[in-house]
Amino acid sequence: MAELEIFRKTVGYLGTNCYILVNHDTGECVVFDPGGDAQELKELFQAPNFKLRGILLTHGHFDHIGAVRELKDAFGVPVYASVEEDRQVLGNPEVNLTTMFRHAMSLHADETLRDGQELEIIGARITCILTPGHTAGGMCYYIEEMQSLIAGDTLFCESVGRTDFPTGDAGVLVRSIREKLYVLPDETKVFPGHMDSTTIGWEKQHNMLVG
Ligand SMILES: [Zn+2]
């Protein structure tokens, strides 16, 4: 079994959590949601123990994608996102909110992912779990051998993502969490797009917004 570790890096003025999954046996890594300024992340991935192999997006909001293009250009790595997110959010500056908050930007995934797909990358097996609600194509990434979930803005510690942006839907979000995330083992560590980590078991007991 590969020696895998997840690092958190908080980026940008909204304090977005960017995560880096590293395989210490090979030094290969993937980055989830590189928002904020690319420079700091670029320097990190120039180090020999962080060989970047891919960019995985939980969703296409501006604060999760700010450094995507520069990292992609600098390291020649593919961008992964759900089919739905690629179609409805990433490519549309009105919907990915880049027109509102920074310079208008549209992106497209190089590899589109489907619900339930198993992605084998850097020696890790990552299960893609589609969790619409915050956006239509929000994707969570589950790494079973690490009992870890990269949750984007779907589920937070005792909270949930906003549903008042385009393609958001509160009822759909709660159903996604109940039916797709609460079925994971209670000890699963949840790494959200903002604020602190939590676990599935803790949220089932304490998250009043999911019920
Ligand atoms: Zn968001």
Task: Report the pLDDT value the prediction gives residue 145, as an integer from 0 to 100.
Answer: 97
What is the 183 CA–ligand 1 centroid distance (Å)?
23
The alpha carbon of 120 and the centre of ligand 1 are apart by a number of angstroms equal to 26
Cα-based distances in Å from 177 to 40, 151, 156: 33, 10, 11
C-alpha–C-alpha distance, residues 89 and 157, integer Å: 25
Distance (angstroms) between ligand 1 centre and the Cα of 63 equals 7
Tokens of 39: 């420079």
Q: What is the largest CA-CA distance in the chain?
A: 45
Query: What is the reported pTM?
Result: 0.96
Q: Are strands 79-82 and 111-113 parallel, antiparallel or unpaired?
A: parallel
d(CA 153, ligand 1 centre) in Å: 5
The per-residue pLDDT for 122 is 97
The pLDDT value given to residue 70: 95
> What pLDDT was estimated at residue 12?
86
User: How far apart are the CA of 170 and the centre of ligand 1, in A?
Assistant: 13
- The residue extents of the domains of the chain are 4-206
| pLDDT score of 101 | 75
**Which regions of the chain are under pLDDT 50?**
none
Q: What is the CATH number of domain 4-206?
A: 3.60.15.10
Q: Would you tell me how many other CB atoms lie within 10 Å of the CB of residue 88?
A: 18
Question: How far is 172 from 135, CA to CA, in rounded Å?
Answer: 10
Please tell me the distance between residue 62's alpha carbon and the centre of ligand 1 in angstroms. 8
The answer to whether the beta carbons of residues 65 and 105 sit under 8 Å apart is: yes
